[in-house]
Amino acid sequence: MAFTGNYMPTSFKSEILQAKHNFTNGAHTFNLALYTNSSSFDASTTDYTVTNEVSGTGYTAGGAALTNVTPTTGGVVGFTDFADLTFSSATITARGALIYNTTYGGGTGTTEAVGVYDFGSDKTSSAGDFTIIFPTASSTDAVIRIA
């Protein structure tokens, strides 16, 4: 099994129609978790899992919380963004990431998947910074877009 690209989970598409996710800054809390290439995430992924999650110095199971950038629009596209995220003093190797909502529907400790992201190759930090760089917040590049 392996990462095979970036996916917006099908379950997420349904959940946004049910107003279960709120990306407004300061609203819901979204985490980013890192995974090895043994993972098999795709559009059918529904939730965060500890299976094949990376482990190592500077990384805690569940990943880390992201800072939301309030959604906006460009042309006919709606999109949202997050601030870059750094795992400091980390010794880890990851092939991809899963963003999930820890306050889905206003709850706590929830795990509903929001996006699957493939780094394209294994990325490694050794006693250094492992920084997730989000794309430009635009209608063509933003990390989550609805056209």
| Number of residues lying near another protein (CB under 8 A) | 37
Residues 6 or more apart whose Cβ sits within 8 Å of residue 121? 95
C-alpha distances out from residue 77 to 71, 110, 146, Å: 11, 28, 6
123 exposure class (CB count in 10 Å sphere: 0-12, 13-18, 19+): middle
Binding mask 72-111 for another protein (x = CB under 8 A): ------------x-x-x-----x--x--------------
Binding flag, residue 66, another protein (CB under 8 A): no
Binding flag, residue 64, another protein (CB under 8 A): no
Binding flag, residue 1, another protein (CB under 8 A): no
Residue for token pair 């950038």: 69
Please report, as ranges, the residues that interact with another protein according to CB under 8 A. Answer: 6-8, 12-13, 84, 86, 88, 94, 97, 115-117, 119, 123-138, 141-147
